[in-house]
Copies of this chain bind each other. A is one copy, B any other.
Amino acid sequence: MAAAVAVELVHTFSLLHDDIMDGDTDRRRRPTVWKAYGTGPAVLAGDALFALAVETLATQPGGAGAVRTLSAALRDLVRGQADDLLFAQRPWTGPERVRPDEYRAMAEHKTGALLGCAAALGAVLGGAAPETAAALDRVGRHLGVAFQIVDDVLGIWGDPHVTGKPVRGDLRERKKTFPVLVALDSPAGGRLAVLLESGDDLDMAAALIEEAGGRSAAMAEARRHLAAVERALAEVPLAPRAAGELRALLGFLVRREV
């Protein structure tokens, strides 16, 4: 219970601060906190949630290990967010461009670390073997990368009525997502960079990314990480009910692929 509360607190903290960093004005069709109440209160609300998360774990019996797990995840999370900010400043093409491998590491930190922490924290607090906690951490990290890359595909080709995101939104915002980076790495990279930079014909950009293999490479990459999730899950001596719930979550992620 304490683990779930702490993870929810940290997750909300990270959404609050993320929206400030990305300048996002909407989240699920509602104004973001900084947009509605101002940057200062949003920064502060995030800090409060973060402090509460730490306190929630630190006041549990044997909470020191849980706090270590959380703070290591936070270090990765911040590193991932910093890389994400830095990626935006790098060029589309040339030796300074962002490689798909760098993106994968960023996604593991930014999205996977917190999911890994969420998966492992209950085991840590419950006194499970370190290998069990480590395997659950891997479950969450691979799940995070898969989730992020599926999100990238939806951000370009998803149905806005289903995703709640604007059509071609990620292309309009010039996001360097996995499918885009794969396509930029292909012979079509130069042409795509011009299209993305001008922002004139995003449908053509989406078609070019698909043609260059960005979409299929992204789905293959997501599937590889889901397979790694399955392998890590198989190492964990889970109660049938918990295992069923985790697999249901995976199913949800896969259905989202549509």
Q: A residues bordering B, Cβ < 8 Å?
A: 17, 20-23, 39-41, 43-44, 46-48, 50-52, 54-55, 58-59, 63-64, 67-68, 70-72, 74-75, 77-79, 81-82, 85
A71 to B43, CA, bound (A): 17
The reply to whether B22 and A78 form a contact with Cβ atoms under 8 Å apart is no
For A67, give its contact among B21, B23, B44, B64 (CB under 8 Å).
B64
A28 to B198, CA, bound (A): 43
The reply to whether B71 and A40 form a contact with Cβ atoms under 8 Å apart is no
- The dominant DSSP class at the A interface is helix
Q: Which residues of B contact A40 (CB under 8 A)?
A: 20-23, 85
**What is the minimal beta-carbon distance from A258 to any residue of chain B, in angstroms?**
32
The reply to whether B64 and A78 form a contact with Cβ atoms under 8 Å apart is no
Residue ID in chain B nearest A71 by CB atoms = B55
A75 to B59, CA, bound (A): 14
What are the nearest 3 A-B pairs in CB distance?
Answer: A21-B40, A55-B71, A51-B74
For A68, give its contact among B43, B46, B58, B70 (CB under 8 Å).
B58
The reply to whether B48 and A50 form a contact with Cβ atoms under 8 Å apart is no
The reply to whether A47 and B50 form a contact with Cβ atoms under 8 Å apart is yes
With A54-B71, A59-B68, A71-B55 as known contacts, state yes or no: A47 contacts B85, CB within 8 Å. no
The reply to whether A44 and B75 form a contact with Cβ atoms under 8 Å apart is no
The reply to whether A74 and B58 form a contact with Cβ atoms under 8 Å apart is no
